[in-house]
Amino acid sequence: MSETKKNDLPKETHASRSRKRWLIILLAICVLAVGVWILFVRPQEAAKKSEAVPPPGIPVVAVPARKGDISVYLTGLGSVTPFYTVTVRTRVDGQLMEVLFKEGQIVSVGELLARIDPRPFEVQLAQAEGQMARDTAQLKNAQLDLERYRALWDEDSVSKQQLDTQEALVRQLEGVVKADQGQIDSAKLQLVYCRITSPISGRVGLRLVDPGNIVHVADANGLIVITQLQPITVIFPLPEDNLPQILAKLKTDRPLPVEAYDRAMKQKLATGSLLTVDNQIDPTTGTVRLKALFPNEKNELFPNQFVNARLLLDVVRGVTVIPASAIQRGPQGTFVYLVKADRTATVRPISVDEIQEGEASIKTGVSSGELVVVDGEERLREGSRVELRAQSPNNTERGY
């Protein structure tokens, strides 16, 4: 028994070693198979999947080009200027007795504004009238004497010298009476000037002299400043290069509309028309001044206010219009990105005519209905796949 067991032990050890060896070989084959799958099969499957699922497109916003009209505006920063501005001054020296207006009041032509003490001029009028009465009586007496001298001359009772002397006296007294009448008229005029009235209709400013002060004709400031508000004008400069177009439009006798906006160019204040163009160009700035007239019925404009004046020079009709934000510029010139039917982007060179209020009229390069990219174009290249997305309300272009 003991011999048999000793002979079996080497056989079991040999078999066990054989199994271990096969297990190691099988494990090595499995590891090799996994390695081959990772290195060769898996990349090919991933490539097939990637070929089956196209990469996502670049998100962009695109709008169709359209046919429409575009208005050509010229804009200049100007100031509101009253049609008339009058500094009311006294025309006689005297004490300011009464002020009959309120500061900021709207007054009409001929409305009484103030009174100056009239008593000194009333005294002058009485003196002039008394002087005239005396001189008139002397004239009448001299005329009667002249009639007597003429009768005596016919009777050869007086000399020719006496008659001529009397005629000269009458003419002299007639001149004195005329001078007296001038003194009376002057005194009456001074009394009229004691009543200071408004020469224009407009708005009065702040009072410059208080009642009780002595005012003089030579005073520099005057009594009050009146500015006419209805109508009112705006004076604004434009480059001299636009002058030929403006003058050509003025020759047609058609009014050129002018719109006044606030300094931020956000709120439209009033609408008027071009009145005239200055007669010379400013050589220091290369601009010419224009004057526009506004009815200003609701007092939208105020003297010396700064406004942006927009002159409507022309309206170009039936052109291809796209948002100005779609226009790109590069070394090859001006271009836009278009979205084709297969949802890919293409570069299209264009020729731009006018750009106004966020819109551009296109001469060549884009047709009506073609989709132009207005947002997201910075990531695009020729042939890039795109994904159209909705346009943000804050970035919505006018008319699209």
Mean of the pLDDT values across residues 253-271?
Answer: 92
Structure tokens at 247: 């003058």
Give the integer Cα–Cα distance in Å for 326 and 324: 5
Residue 264 has pLDDT above 60, yes or no: yes
Structure tokens at 122: 């009333």
> SS3 of 153, please?
helix
User: Mean pLDDT across the chain, nearest whole number?
Assistant: 86
At 9 the pLDDT is 44
Count of CB atoms within 10 A of residue 352's CB?
18
Mean of the pLDDT values across residues 96-113?
Answer: 94
Cα 182–187–190 angle (5° rounding)?
A: 125
242 φ/ψ angles, rounded to the nearest 5 degrees = -85, -5
pLDDT tens digit sequence for 13-66: 666 666 777 777 777 777 776 666 666 656 665 555 555 455 678 898 989 999
> What is the architecture, at CATH level 2, of domain 118-193?
Orthogonal Bundle (1.10)
Residue pair 224/208 in contact by the 8 Å Cβ criterion: yes
Residue 397 has pLDDT above 60, yes or no: no
The string over 17-46, giving b where at least 16 C-beta atoms fall within 10 Å of a residue's C-beta and e elsewhere, is eeeeeeeeeeeeeeeeeeeeeeeeeeeeee
pLDDT tens digit sequence for 362-377: 888 898 888 999 988 8
Lowest mean pLDDT among 1-15, 19-33, 281-295: 1-15
Query: Which fold does the domain 90-117+195-223 belong to in CATH?
Result: OB fold (Dihydrolipoamide Acetyltransferase, E2P) (2.40.50)
At 103 the pLDDT is 92
Alpha carbon of 182 to those of 44, 186, 221, 229: distances in Å?
121, 6, 31, 39
Q: How does residue 3 score in pLDDT terms, banded at 50, 70 and 90?
A: very low
Give the integer Cα–Cα distance in Å for 282 and 78: 15
> SS3 of 31, please?
helix
Q: Give me the helices (H) in 37-112, please.
A: 42-52
320 compared with 391, residue with greater pLDDT: 320
Predicted model pTM: 0.68
Q: Spelled out in words, what is the top-level CATH class assigned to the domain 74-83+227-308?
A: mainly beta
Give the integer Cα–Cα distance in Å for 152 and 139: 20
User: Any idea where the domains of the chain sit in the sequence?
Assistant: 59-71+318-395, 74-83+227-308, 90-117+195-223, 118-193
Count of CB atoms within 10 A of residue 125's CB?
20
Query: Which fold does the domain 59-71+318-395 belong to in CATH?
Result: 2.40.420
Residue pair 315/263 in contact by the 8 Å Cβ criterion: no
Residue 399 has pLDDT above 60, yes or no: no
First to last CA, the chain: 106
> SS3 of 50, please?
helix
